[in-house]
Chains A and B, each alone.
Chain A
Amino acid sequence: MSDGLPPAHAVVDAALAAAGGAGCVVLVEDRSEADVRFATNTVTTNGVRRARSVTVVALADGDRGTSAGVASRSGAVDPVDLVRAALADAEGSPPAEDAAPLLGGGADDRFGDEPATTDLDVLGGVLAALGGAFGRAERSGTVLAGFAEHAMVTTCLGTSTGLRRRHVQPTGMLQLVGRADGGARSAWVGRGTVDFTDVAVEELEAALAQRLAWAAARVELDAGRYETILPPGAVADLMTYLYGVASGADAEDGRSVFSASGGGTRVGERLATLPFELRSDPGAPSLECAPFLAVAASSSRASVFDNGLALERTAWIHDGVLQQLFYPRARAARSGCTPAAPIDNLLLELPGETASTADLVASTERGLLLECLWYIREVDPTTLLLTGLTRDGVYLVEDGEVRGAVNNFRFNESPVDLLSRATQAGATERTLGREFSEWMPRVSMPALRIPDFNMSSVSPAS
């Protein structure tokens, strides 16, 4: 796709030149995306799009410290105008509490390369397979719905201190829901991928068919606490929420589940008896993500001053002990902690475990197997109590066998608490969270066995 936008590196250089030697960070994000939705056994909406967003962080030094101004615009921006807008905000701001010297460093070899692109051709195989799948579904009384998308996001980051970083992030996912008997039986499968070469619609269809077959028998159960096997995808959504609230500042201010009673944080405290590791790693195979920080706005998790910060394998929880929270550099210095910024993937592992979800089922005397969780919202931040629903598949397991589908439940549970109560974990595998994959598509998780998962009430939904 040809277009009239100037190269990203030229935009970075022009904006830095416009800043005239003042402290400045320029972030150019080129997005190329293609997606298709489907429902009622046919394709519905789709989209192909190309977007560019340019963010300038301009710094102003004053007697009392450095302040920052941030401005973002899309498309063919005028760098001079954008720098002027950011600088005006910087000059009107008090010194920034997250101020830290801009990072220097080298230039990536491919900094000047064209942005990566994608289009619907990447989904050609999926679309062709879906055509057949819809026909088979219709004949078998199943209704398919779902979503396939592929994105290539090219980030170019430059600073007035000479840093030039570039990262190309491919993201893909396919989700498929099958409903039968007017929705009384339903199942979901989702796969994360880089390029769709490893995704076979037929394999997903087979997984759906198995679950819909499991649901041929139906069991009504009351609310209560049940031994429950959370599959990797459900664990992903719960851990993604936990990851999202891991701000050191919030913990120090007494405002989070990671606040220590009486002040300070829970870093160093054992959260789980099992030696879990929750980590992020830009180099994790098949989950590769940017090895440097690129943020267009400061928050309690990350600072615009830290743009370009090298991101490395970081254990948030190690050996069951809380190890690290998010700390922008300035806050970390004040608190005497190690700085750490959010990294775009998340892995939970219980070292040495090799069991699959099916193995966990096989060793269950009586319990529930979930497929996924939905509408997960915070009820109490002090414990990170979350509420939500089971969706598209709850199954009763007896003597190692799935006996049938159970009604849905509303749950009330804290992911921090679940880690402490888990009695078994399976092997860590690439998965996709049903709800939060939109924000955290690169996840590897194990299945977890929870002896007493709190199903708070029955949901008549299916």
Chain B
Amino acid sequence: MPRETRAFDPDVLAAVREAGLAEARRLGATDASLRVEDVRSQVVSLRDAALETSIDDTELGMGLAVVHEGSVGYAATVEVTPDAAARLAREAVGAARAVAIARRRPVELAPEPSHGEVTWASPHATDPTTVPFTEKLALLEAWSQRLLDADGVDHVTATVRCVSEHKHYADLAGTVATQHRVRLQPQVTAIALEHDGAGFESMRTLAPPVGRGWEYLHGDGWDFDAELAELPELLKEKLAAPTVAAGRYDLVVDPTNLWLTIHESIGHATELDRALGYEAAYAGTSFATPDRLGTLQYGSEVMHVTGDRTVVHGLATVAIDDEGVAAQSFDLVRDGRLVGFQLDRSIAAAAGQDRSNGCAFADSALHVPIQRMANVSLQPAAGDGPTTTELINGVDHGLYILGDKSWSIDMQRYNFQFTGQRFFRIEGGRLAGQVRDVAYQATTTDFWGSMEAVGGRSTYLLAGAFNCGKGQPGQVAPVSHGTPSVLVRDVNVLNARTEGGR
């Protein structure tokens, strides 16, 4: 039997938020919010069909944020009692006092009205963390064995990560939000050793992580059967494929690869806290600064990028964010021009904006909410739009790239380098077999400026990541990115082997 999903006890929550917020108010906090979070995270990972890693971790915690005499303070604990909540209020105010000596400007939060009592759950049939461990193991064993039995596969790694996140939020304005989200990330990698015994090639499934239930692994949103069926043959072809000739290519980039390029070169670059220097010591800044809002030509005219925390099955989708702001959808790039930024309440206020657009998130009750990425998505072409095949037909000499693998981008989000899982040569508008060792390198605005066409709705996929890192101490956020296939002209392609001096 699946274990019961641990639900919050409403009486405990009411007592806890009353105790914490009342104490914060009594101590002179001008803003205060309290979060109780129960996050269950599971990892089941098999190596060559044998269990290697098993994690089943539940973190129940409580955090309280205050603004006190112009300073912020945050305190957190793993105890969830009224006494602990009141103590957190004192500690958070104590923290605000302790840092005041080094505060040069007061912190303000952009106003947000009370949304009253809100209850929300991400749509799902089966909370994946309630599925018995044995069932997870059996599914991954079957997937692994199927690949190991295939010709040319030497090793297989199969992993599924499942999360069930309960959040209870309350603030002095009167918003009380109780939310439950689930998500999961399945990944299977087949490995083939080189025939000469020197090195190997791998190929991973392209199935994205999603805000769905366990039903995702049984065909609701992805065809795993079809994907596992084609993996061995694709890997065999890759192992025998020629290495890529470095040079300039037209690229047709599949959503399974492009989502990460969007994430790194648009998602992070349009976070206003970065642009203002709040991440200068860690995640970095941004070339897309507020003074260029409305004027910066980010890319070609077919480029329309939105941020949202509302899309169904989106990994960053919520009803109310971790500062009590209602989820929204907004433009970031329109007709190729920078028109918006992602905001939280303190950054919105610092930038003179009226309101946050709801991008505050903390990965645990133990961490303070900071501005984190919305689902940042590239919109497909209107109407029927081109198919991926039609985009490929428009290329004389190029590459079709699928699946993400390695990624790296600089601290201002200019210069990036990505690899992938599968690279097909395009010759005369048709696919002409795989090549290997491809890495594409570009400057953000050059790359998006060379985007000649976006695919239609039929090419669109909501992909994403479980592991977006930001902040100190480090926080990890899940986020989705929707994108069509695209055609980008004249991109610099490196040969990863040559780069490695081989």
Contacts and interface: CB of A to CB of B under 8 A. Distances in A.
A389 B417 CA distance: 10
- Centre residue among B77, B102, B471 by max chain A CB count within 10 A: B102
A75 B441 contact: no
A76 B79 CA distance: 7
B59 A74 contact: yes
A62 interface: no
A385 B495 CA distance: 12
A74 B98 contact: no
Given A49-B366, A375-B411, A376-B408, A299 B72 contact: no
A33 B473 contact: yes
A297 B53 contact: yes
B120 interface: no
Contacts of A70: 54-56
Nearest to A71: B56
Interface in A166-201: 175-177, 179, 183, 186, 188
Interface in B66-83: 71-81, 83
A159 to B, nearest CB: 18
Given A375-B409, A385-B496, A460 B443 contact: yes
Contacts of B75: 47-49
A76 to B, nearest CB: 6
A98 B91 CA distance: 44
Interface in B39-61: 43, 47, 50-61
Contacts of A154: none
Contact of B368 (A3, A40, A47, A298): A47
Given A36-B99, A456-B494, A44 B410 contact: no
A313 interface: no
Q: Is the interface of B mostly helix, strand, loop or mixed?
A: mixed
**Chain A interface helix/strand/loop/mixed:** strand
Contact of A131 (B55, B96, B102, B413): B102
Given A43-B103, A47-B95, A298-B54, A75 B281 contact: no
Given A38-B102, A375-B411, A456 B84 contact: no
B502 to A, nearest CB: 7
A380 to B, nearest CB: 5
A69 B98 contact: no
Interface stretch (B129-137, B218-226, B394-402, B481-489): B129-137
Interface string B276-315: 1111111011010000000000000000000000000000
B307 to A, nearest CB: 22
B102 A43 contact: yes
Interface string A146-157: 110100000000
A41 B368 CA distance: 20
Contact of A89 (B43, B56, B95, B370): B56
A200 B155 CA distance: 51
Given A5-B79, A45-B370, A47-B75, A134 B411 contact: no
A410 B95 contact: no
A424 B95 CA distance: 47
Contacts of A138: 104
Interface in A30-57: 33, 35-53, 55
Interface stretch (A108-116, A120-128, A232-240, A345-353): A120-128
Interface in A434-462: 438, 454, 456-462
B10 interface: no
A325 to B, nearest CB: 16
A51 B37 CA distance: 13
Contacts of A457: 415, 441, 492
A4 B78 contact: no
A333 interface: no
Given A42-B103, A297-B54, A374-B411, A52 B95 contact: no
Contacts of B409: 375, 389
B439 interface: yes
Interface stretch (A14-22, A255-263, A275-283, A357-365): A255-263
Contacts of B92: 48
Given A45-B368, A459-B410, A380 B57 contact: no
Contacts of A94: 50-51, 137
**Considering the complex of A and B, which 3 residue pairs feature the smallest CB-CB distances, nearest first?**
A75-B78, A461-B412, A92-B134
Interface of A: 1, 3-5, 33, 35-53, 55, 68-76, 85, 88-89, 92-94, 96-98, 120-121, 123-124, 127-128, 130-131, 134-135, 138, 143, 145-147, 149, 175-177, 179, 183, 186, 188, 249, 253-255, 259, 261-263, 296-300, 374-380, 382-383, 385, 387-389, 391, 408, 410, 412, 414, 417, 438, 454, 456-462
9 contacts: A51-B76, A72-B57, A96-B51, A127-B101, A143-B277, A145-B277, A375-B408, A417-B501, A438-B474
